[in-house]
Amino acid sequence: MTRVQRLKGSVQDYAWGKPSSSNPLVKRIYDSQCEASSLPPSNLEKYAEIWLGTHPNGPSTLIDSNTTLKSYLTPSNDLPYLLKVLSISKVLSIQSHPDSALAAQLHASNPSVYKTPCHKPEMAIALTPFSAMLGFRTLSSLYSNLQLYPEIKDIVGSKSWKDLKECYENTAGMDFDTRTIVSVSNFFTNYMSNYDKDSLGSSVCSKIISRINSKIDKTSLDDLLLKFHSQFPEDCGVLSPIFLNVLNLKPGESLYVPPNTPHAYISGEIIECMARSDNVIRCGLTGKFKDVEVLCGSLDYEGFEPRRERGVEGEGERIYRPAVQDFEVRTSTLTSDHTFPSVPSPVIFLCLEGSCKVVWDGGEVGVKFGESLFIEEGTIIEVKVEKEVGFVRAMRNVGGG
């Protein structure tokens, strides 16, 4: 049994993916893996994600034995994580992922939609400039935005509008106390629940978009509302950046998505790692099933300013380690040979730049851009650089997250 094996992932062609004509990263990676498998290049219209792991909806294949990684592993050492690369052209749905307790409840009550009883924390690392929404804005930011788009009062109602205004005035926008959390919860729930009643929301959305179009000097928030409206006209999610934080990340910066936190990826190309689960609760910017009642009843409404993390510098690597046990990601860029000690986790290795040889006790394999490896737990590897090489390694959180 070899301790390092070549791996081919599965590609997803969701509607929000980048078109083939733009030669997106997902296409280039997947075609490199097809070439390594002696298969012709792919021919899809859209390239959204490539999955590396054992998820049943996109299982990876061990190239040299032509068997799935899932069938190779025993249930006791199956991967708890899924590594992905995303090429994002169009905003993804506004969604949240349930915590473990809620996931179990949803799976028991509606297994056709919530297919596993597991949580789904996730982390994104920018490979190009990357934009996303994550979590509710602080009270001062939310209140300030609402003054710019007062038409929203017609959707949420006078009482919710007044309650939020009083919270802001009582705390000067600085404190997210219990009353404020309840007020924001009621405000957002009323917005989502009332939006589609008698075309109320779409009418308000149209008024706001019309007013923005008439402005000479548009803000970045105006531009984002126009972008969402062009992609999902009059959808309830068009106005979501008014409520949710908008982040613009540089390559190498990351964000972590906690359970029960609303979020949506907007544009860019990223590495994503997550717990191996299907549980997604959606509410907007999608043609898929929207579970508004469950989402509004489960969100964390405490506003915050999201942190952009750059990982922790290690020897020959940068470590991105969220506060969950399921996964961590390590990135490396090498100009000279380097030996990596063994880790107590099976590892998925993905080359994103250059070429190298990966050497272990018992063998070696050449790796170039786009190619991937599965590495057994407890394996020491030496990376011998042929051309400046960049790669990522995904594994269980071995730092006690």
Does 122 appear as a known binding residue? Answer: yes
Backbone angles phi, psi at 66, to 5 degrees: 55, 40
> Which residues have a Cβ under 8 Å from the Cβ of 82 and sit 6 or more positions away?
51, 52, 53, 54, 55, 273, 274, 275, 276
Q: Which amino acid is at 184?
A: V
Active-site residue (options: 6, 137, 276, 282) = 282
Q: Is 97 annotated as a binding residue?
A: yes
- Each residue's pLDDT, cut to its tens digit, for the chain (401 residues) gives 689 999 999 999 999 999 999 999 999 999 999 999 999 999 999 999 999 999 999 999 999 999 999 999 988 889 999 999 999 999 999 999 999 999 999 999 998 888 888 888 999 999 999 999 999 999 999 999 999 999 999 999 999 999 999 999 988 767 678 899 999 999 999 999 999 999 999 999 999 999 999 999 999 999 999 999 999 999 999 999 999 999 999 999 999 999 999 999 999 999 999 999 888 999 999 988 899 999 999 999 999 999 999 999 999 999 999 999 999 999 999 999 999 999 999 999 999 999 999 999 989 999 999 999 999 999 999 999 999 999 999 999 998 65
Q: What's phi and psi for 50, nearest 5 deg?
A: -120, 135
Choose among 238, 153, 231: nearest CA to 194.
Answer: 153
Residue 55 counted as an annotated binding residue: no
| 263 is annotated as contributing to ligand binding | yes
Q: What are phi and psi of 29, to 5 degrees?
A: -65, -45
Task: Check if the beta carbon of residue 13 is closer than 8 Å to that of residue 47.
Answer: yes
Q: Is 282 a residue of the active site?
A: yes
- 396 to each of 56, 80, 252, 317, how far by Cα in Å? 19, 7, 20, 16
